[in-house]
Structure 1
Amino acid sequence: MELESLPDEVIAEIEVRDRWRRATAADGLEFLVTDIGRWPLGRTVRVAFLDGDDQLHADIAEATEQITGACNLTLDFGQNGAGTFRRWTTSDTVLAAEIRVSFDLPGFFSLVGTDSTDSAIGAGGGPVGGNPGQRSLNLGRFAVNRPPTWEGTVRHEFLHALGFHHSHQNMRGTCEGEFRWEDDVGYVPTQDPAGVFVPDAQGRRPGIYTYLAGEPNKWPRAKVDHNLRTVDAPDLVAGPFDTKSVMLYRFPAFFYKSTPSSCAPSGNGQNLSDGDKRGLDLLYPHTMGALADRQARADAVLESLGAGPEGVPGANGGDLAEAYRSRVEELAAAQATGVR
């Protein structure tokens, strides 16, 4: 079982930036981490493709209609009268689209929300990041062999691109206590010919940490924690735990302590659940009150940014901190303008 994950260097860059944002939010600017990861309300978010043919592009655009039908946001794939769709290239110097899709890298992944256009992510180069010639969302091998559950995968990754996180990391769920993190007592590390950790000769099973350290993932413990353990952070908007959500991973039975597990999916993994739709409406509402509230928070951040050194921490704290600060200003201004 190959799990989705961003490249390690991209995760590291995001973690450094997020620590700065949370420190800033501690001074009362909660907007930094609750709102700027989302696209502005009512925004048209452009999508472009690196590779793949027109039929694949059309199918992906159609699969996302469930998403845009549930929120105050538009995904624009740049379809023209000839049935072709917007494209981007790795040599671009200007963003062709906010969400830049590829099919050529292994696995599935997406940057979350406005990280897709954050130039500090992937600033040192590499195939993935927030810059014009970098991928922000990847659907590996779709161009040659789509999996049977491809529609659910598309919706899962595009929900990431709109700001959703994994359901199994929801602090209101049971997954933290339901996952078998450690090996069965006495487990003897045993691998099959493909390098996958399997039960030993006595039937004792590997735990999640051991299993994911083998093929095809080869994840160290820290990466398992980052991708699977519960996130209890004040900046995340967490609704009720939803076992029908397309954002809930489908794991092998041995990942769980009990059968059936309260953490296991109960939906088909293909279509948005009612909870997914409520989450979209929470992040991108249509009501005027919600629009005005976000505008007020954005204006408060812009006022603080205008205060100079007494405003957002790091205003004079070096090139990287200044880049973070400029990005916050850019996103806050977009939010304030977008909701007027």
Structure 2
Amino acid sequence: MQLESLPDDVVASIEVRDRWRRASAGGGLEFLVTDIARWTPGSTVRVAFLDGDEQLHADIAGATAQITDACNLNLDFGHDPASGTFRRWTPSDTAYAAEIRVSFDLEGYFSLVGTDSTDRTVGAGGGPVGGNPGQRSLNLGGYAVNRPARWEGTVRHEFLHAIGFHHSHQNMRGTCEEEFRWDDDAGYMPTRDGDGVFVADAAGRRPGIYTYLAGEPNRWPRAKVDHNLRTEDDPDVVAGPFDPQSVMLYRFPSFFYKSAPSSCAPTGDGQNLSAGDQRGLRLLYPHTADELADLQTRADAVLHSIGTGGEGLRGSDGGELAEAYRSRVETLVAAQAAGPR
């Protein structure tokens, strides 16, 4: 089982950026976490494709309709009815062809979260993934050659990341931290199958999550397992109730869990948005003036604090991170002043 994961250099740049946020945000931290990470409610977010054909593009656009039907946000795939084509981007772009830049050519599935897709400090080292115009922000590896079964659920999962959602199994209000079998069964003898995957040994003793994910096809060190699977018990993160039906909850092999059935195991179909997913979308991208009204207060707090935490980080374009966030906050304030759409 191959799990989704961002490249290590991208994760490192996000961690540096987030430390800067905490040091600089002061009383406006909640605004940075919950509002800077999402797109402006009522806005249009452009999507472009690096590769793949028009039928694949059309199918992916169709699969995301469940998302936009549930919230006040538009995803624009640049469809031209006359030619049947969709918007494209290239690695040589110096201006953004789209906020969400989709590819199918890298291994695995992953997406940057929300506005990280246009944060130039993310992946500023120049790799294939990051927040710059010529970098991938969302990847569905292999879809251009052969789509997997239940592909629609994966598309919705990754696009929910792209508009600001995190994994359900890392929700501090859930049970996954205690339910996961992190360590091997006592006495386990490391045993691999022909593909290099760690499996039960001759006595039936099972590998734990750390051992299993150290093997093929993931080859993750312990720190990467912790980053991707451990609970995000972070005071900066605003978490809703744990939702076992969410499309954002991984379907892990049964040996990942201590009990059966596990309270951490998904109960949804993994394909369609749950009622909880839809509620989360409405909270992130509300329609009504009352729901938007507190943006101004939170924005005022962060506008006073951004840039006061020492020298700003520089993106690959040389711009100051503080200036980029100030511009982002001002955009959100303007959207609030304009009212719901």
State the alpha-carbon separation in 2 of the partners of residues 10 and 317 from structure 1.
Answer: 18
The structure 1 residue matched to 2:323, chosen from 312, 321, 326, is 326
Task: Indicate yes or no: 2:30 matched with 1:3.
Answer: no
Indicate whether 1:17 and 2:13 are aligned: no
- 1:312 corresponds, among 308, 314, 328, to 308
Q: Give, in angstroms, the shift of residue 162 of structure 1.
A: 0.4
Is 1:63 aligned to residue 63 of structure 2? yes
Corresponding residue to 2:333 among 302, 320, 336: 336
Contact preservation (8 Å) 1:25, 1:33: no
Aligned 8 A contact 2:110 2:138 in 1? yes
Q: How far does the alpha carbon of each residue in 1:29-83 deviate from its partner, in whole angstroms, 9 at most, with x for none? A: 4312221011111110000000111111111011000000111110000111222
State TM-score, norm by structure 1.
Answer: 0.95
**TM superposition shift of 1:338:** 2.0
Instruction: Quote the residue 1:308 is aligned against.
Output: none
TM-score when normalising by structure 2: 0.94
Q: Is 2:21–2:29's contact at 8 Å kept on the other side of the alignment? A: no
Query: Aligned partner of 1:62: which letter?
Result: G
Gaps spanning 5+ residues in structure 1: where? 306-310
Q: Percent identity?
A: 74
CA contact (8 A) 2:29 2:236 kept: no
Give the conservation status (yes or no) of the 8 Å contact 1:42–1:339: no
Match of 2:157 in 1: 156
**Taking structure 1 as reference, are residues 108 and 216 closer, same or farther at Cα in structure 2, changes over 3 Å only?**
same
Q: Measure how far apart 1:238 and its partner are.
A: 1.3
Report the AA paired with residue 184 of structure 2. D
Bigger RCO of structures 1 and 2 (CA < 8 A, at least 6 apart): 2
* Inter-partner Cα distance in structure 2 for 1:2 and 1:192: 15
1:1-340 matched pairs, under 5 angstroms: 1-82=1-82, 83-305=84-306, 312-314=308-310, 316=311, 319=314, 323-340=320-337
| Letter paired with 1:16 | V
CA separation of 1:28/1:65 partners in 2, compared to 1, >3 Å: closer, same or farther? closer
Q: Return the letter of the residue paired with 1:52.
A: G
- Structure 1 window deviating more from structure 2 (85-94 vs 20-29): it is 20-29
**What is the root-mean-square deviation of aligned Cα atoms in Å?**
1.5
Match of 2:78, SS state, is: coil
Decide whether aligned partners of structure 1 residues 300 and 33 sit closer, same or farther in structure 2, where only a CA change above 3 A counts.
same
Q: Which moved more, 1:248-257 or 1:292-301?
A: 292-301
C-alpha distance in 2, partners of 1:207/1:66? 36
Q: In structure 2, the residue corresponding to 1:297 is in which secondary structure?
A: helix
1:88-112, Cα deviation, whole Å (9 max, x unpaired) = 0111110000000000001000000
Q: Distance in 2 between matches of 1:296 and 1:54?
A: 44
Unaligned 5+ segments in structure 2 are none
For residue 290 of structure 1, report the CA deviation from its aligned partner: 2.0
Which one-letter code corresponds to 1:55 in the other structure? Q
Letter in 1 for 2:46: R
Contact 1:183 1:208 in 2 (8 A): yes
Secondary structure of the 2:293 match is: helix
Where 1:254 maps in the other structure, the secondary structure is helix
Q: CA deviation at 1:24?
A: 2.7
Partner SS, residue 20 of structure 2: helix
Contact 2:25 2:305 in 1 (8 A): no
Counterpart-to-counterpart distance in 1, 2:313 and 2:230: 33
Query: How far apart are residue 121 of structure 1 and its match?
Result: 1.0
The 8 Å contact of residues 244 and 264 in structure 2, kept in 1 or not, is answered as yes
Q: Give the CA deviation at 1:313.
A: 1.0
Contact 1:209 1:221 in 2 (8 A): yes
2-structure distance, mates of 1:42, 1:20: 29
Cα separation, 2, equivalents of 1:244 and 1:318: 39
